Amino acid sequence: MSDFGTESSLRSETYKQGSTGEGTLKKRLGIIATCVVGGSLVALYGVTGPFIAPALRKVCLPFVPATRTQVENVIKVLKNRSGSVVDIGSGDGRIVIAAAKRGFTAVGFELNPWLVWYSRYKAWREGVHHSTSFYISDLWKVSFSEYSNVVIFGVPQMMEQLEVKLQTELQSSAKVVACRFPFPTWTPDDVAGEGIDTVWVYNAKTFKPHIRNDKDSERQEMP
């Protein structure tokens, strides 16, 4: 073989090796890019999913935080109360934390885990973590029977169903505070604030159906 032949076959071998190397590099870059894009999409879904999920439920209750005035109105109407406060759908925990700062044992139930983790962090940062608890829970699957003060910032579509639930579960000494949207059939015992910051206060004594005392019925049955 001539020198020229040897040189040209060497060159073509080098070219082949180069192009194979380039191909492997391209393949690796492709895999890395797929992993980065795929990972980012999974992470994005993980973060935004819990915020979008409430909108896809039968009753759409999105995360809309209470305004500062709204929180102040809630605290104002709970001024002479004691015991526990529960915020149903506690969002970023602002009502629970404000209640804990006023001496209540305060609890939040929230579907979105990110908001629950953030609430716990905020409660710790503000020094009220000992008197607050946050649970990742569906409000329709929790009983509120043990709470003496119940706060809800809901949407009109859910209030009728919630009325029935609370009416069944709460003790007659309980108080319910509805933010922005009132309950459809209960009569409020007090109203505070105005516009979007309005809060309606209901005493369970007023809305709970009167249970006839056994002695009363015995007396009525006597001839």
Ligand X SMILES: C[S@@+](CC[C@H](N)C(=O)[O-])C[C@H]1O[C@@H](n2cnc3c(N)ncnc32)[C@H](O)[C@@H]1O
**CB 186 → ligand X: shortest distance, Å?**
19
Using the rule CB under 6 A, which residue among 85, 91, 166, 199 binds ligand X?
91
Q: Give residue number: closest CB to ligand X.
A: 89
Torsion of CA 172, 173, 176, 182, to 10 degrees: 50
- Phi, psi dihedrals of residue 150, rounded to the nearest 5°: -120, 130
Instruction: Tell the residue number behind the tokens 């607050």, with chain if given.
Output: 132
Using the rule CB under 6 A, which residue among 78, 85, 95, 176 binds ligand X?
95
Does 90 participate in binding ligand X (rule CB under 6 A)? yes
Choice between 63 and 121, CB closer to ligand X: 63
Does 110 participate in binding ligand X (rule CB under 6 A)? yes
Choice between 32 and 53, CB closer to ligand X: 53
For residues 131 and 93, what is the distance between their CA atoms, to the nearest angstrom?
Answer: 13
Residue type, 125: R
Does 65 participate in binding ligand X (rule CB under 6 A)? yes
Could you say which DSSP state residue 59 is in?
S
Number of residues in contact with ligand X under rule CB under 6 A: 21
Does 112 participate in binding ligand X (rule CB under 6 A)? yes
Residues 6+ away with beta carbon under 8 Å from 91: 63, 64, 65, 66, 108, 110, 115, 119, 153
- C-alpha angle 164-79-64 in degrees, rounded to nearest 5: 55
User: Which residues ranging from 137 to 166 are in contact with ligand X (CB under 6 A)?
Assistant: 138-140, 153
Does 193 participate in binding ligand X (rule CB under 6 A)? no
Cβ(71)–Cβ(96) below 8 Å: no
Does 87 participate in binding ligand X (rule CB under 6 A)? yes
Structure tokens at 70: 């709204």
Q: Which residues contact ligand X (rule: CB under 6 A)? A: 54, 61, 63-66, 87, 89-91, 94-95, 109-112, 115, 138-140, 153
